[in-house]
Amino acid sequence: MKISKLPYNRDSEKLFSFVVNEPWSIFLDSGYPRIDTGRYDIITAKPSVTLETYGKKTYITSTNGKIISEDDPFYLVREYLGKKISNLSGLPFCGGALGYFSYDLSRRLENIVDSTKQTIGMPDMAIGIYDWAVIIDHHIQKTWLVSFNRFDTTKIIWQELHDLFLGVPINNDKIFKIKSKLKSNLSKDEYAKAFNRIKNYIHDGDCYQVNFAQHFSAEFEGDTWSVYKKLREFNPAPFSAYINLPTGAILSSSPERFLCLTGNQVETKPIKGTKHRSVFAYEDKELAVSLLESEKDRAENLMIVDLLRNDISKSCESGSVNVPKLFALETYSTVHHLVSTISGTLAKNKDGIDLIRECFPGGSITGAPKLRSMEIIEELEPDRRSIYCGSIAYIGFDGNMDSSICIRTLIYSKNKIHFFVGGGIVWDSTVDAEYKECFDKASAMLKIFERKSS
């Protein structure tokens, strides 16, 4: 393993500016310094291998050329991660797989009849195998360039990389324009019709909860990195990310962890229950208390806790799964959330790939029971979700993993910028409250679209 110290900068976007224009550059962003709930930022680029899945085919590109495989995409990631390496650095990521698994990848895991249309065109999976990373630890204010030196090319470019990050940060703010009116794929009447259909399914016993979403899009021109900097200003979040791909860009300000694996310890933190925030302190506190005391939101949260307990139990030792935190309040710039924590101990014959595959997609963004809710989503949502409700993740050469649920996420592709917002519908839900909650959750992203250009 190789580790070199770099100067610490409290705002990691300045360091990312050195590689932002590189294809496959990635910034995993804890939201610091605007919030301090996270600890580490991760920056990397120039992967040694890339894996892009479209439908049944995965295109694998490396220095040896390009091959196509129809094998399970998750197992392909495991294959290219190779043999596990011990990590004695104490750092979260020193190389490995990094990228996203889209919600649509679930079609490779479940037999769901396709009825929605693909409108975005991004890969179902986009994962790079990276042999180096810059790690920023905001708790002790230190920065390192790190690598397991799995690929010979890393040794060749090491000094060049080190010198690159010693340079003067680049001010690369550029113009962007929202060139059309923001459009939803559902009118309010169409949303209400789908809502009532879900309520009928709940009444008939098909399901208990369905996470239903609508899709917004607008014509876009300009620099997506400049958009992301606005997004992290409006809505700093601990599981934010910017991913620059040849096919487009992912701009995520997610507050939600999906799965974390450290050694053999597993954690997931589903969000269910949302209240908007107020600029008046007394009213904001009342809104937070009303969320904590809401029987409807607590019941909704508990359904997903039970679902995720079952999901992670597939990969954990028998009897190890527990719920250390139930219905905890977390507050962000625009909303309050109810968040629970579920933990377990990974079984000896399992790894991070098994864990994420057996839990995918996250139960907090499907509903319960999971498969039936996914079938209802497929029936009622007009467009495929793409990255929305999928997961941005790293899985290290050392076996450690962390991942987000891709909510509060903008997707740029083919001169359009997209986002989805939704919420869990249960028997006690009302259509007006659920429709309003969509816009509460989207408020930070909507600020981007209110600015016609920047």
- pLDDT tens for residues 361-370? 999 999 999 9
* Residues 354, 315 contacting (CB under 8 angstroms): yes
Residue 188 has pLDDT above 80, yes or no: yes
Confidence at residue 137, expressed as pLDDT on a 0 to 100 scale? 97
Of 57-66, 72-81, 328-337, 376-385, which gets the smallest average pLDDT?
328-337
> Looking at residue 444, what is its pLDDT?
86
With a cut of 90, say whether residue 450 has pLDDT above it. Answer: no
Write down the pTM of the prediction. 0.94
- For residues 367 and 210, give the distance between their C-alpha atoms in angstroms, rounded to a whole number: 4
Relative to beta strand 416-425, strand 209-222 is antiparallel
Distance (Å, rounded) from C-alpha 392 to C-alpha 106? 14
Is 453's pLDDT higher than 60? Answer: no
Q: Which amino acid is at 123?
A: P
Residue pair 51/60 in contact by the 8 Å Cβ criterion: yes
Q: What residue spans define the domains of the chain? A: 2-450
- At 88, the pLDDT band (50, 70, 90 cuts) reads confident
pLDDT for the residue numbered 42: 98
How confident is the model at residue 3, as a pLDDT?
Answer: 94
Q: Return mean pLDDT, the chain.
A: 93
Per-residue pLDDT, 449: 85
- What is the predicted pLDDT for the residue at 451? 59
- pLDDT one-digit tens code per residue, 122-161: 999 999 999 999 999 999 999 999 999 999 999 999 999 9
Phi-psi region of 240 (alpha: psi -120 to 50; beta: other; left: phi over 0): beta
Q: Is pLDDT at 409 greater than 90 in this prediction? A: yes
Q: What is the mean pLDDT of residues 423-443?
A: 92
Q: What is the pLDDT of residue 171?
A: 72
**Residue 382, both tokens:** 């007009």
Between 192-196, 272-276, 342-346, the lowest mean confidence (pLDDT) is in: 272-276
Please report which confidence band the pLDDT of residue 333 belongs to, taking 50, 70 and 90 as the band edges. confident
Residue 334 CA to chain centroid, in angstroms?
18
Report whether pLDDT(53) > 70: yes
Give the lowest-confidence range in 70-74, 139-143, 241-245, 270-274: 270-274
Reading the block at residue 58, the tokens are 């995965």
Residue 273: the pLDDT is 86
Instruction: Please say if the pLDDT value at position 393 is more than 60.
Output: yes
3.30.420.40, 3.60.120.10, 3.30.60.50, 3.40.50.720: which CATH number matches 2-450? Answer: 3.60.120.10
Helix ranges, 2-137 (H):
13-16, 73-81
Burial class (CB in 10 A: 0-12, 13-18, 19+), 34: middle
**Residue 452: its pLDDT value, please?**
53
Residue numbers annotated as active site: 256, 272
Compute the distance between CA of residue 110 and CA of residue 103 in angstroms, rounded to an integer: 12
Scored b (16 or more CB within 10 A) or e, 280-300 reads: eeeebeebbeebbebeebbbb
For residue 109, the number of C-alpha atoms closer than 13 Å in the C-beta half-sphere is 21
pLDDT of 279 > 90? The answer is: no
Q: Which amino acid is at 336?
A: H
Tell me the longest C-alpha to C-alpha distance in the chain. 64
The whole-number pLDDT of residue 117 equals 82
Q: Is the separation of the CB atoms in 125 and 386 below 8 Å?
A: no
pLDDT tier, 355 (very low <50, low <70, confident <90, very high otherwise): very high
**Strands 209-222 and 391-396, sheet pairing:** unpaired
User: What proportions of the chain, in percent to the nearest 5, are helix, strand and coil?
Assistant: 30, 35, 35
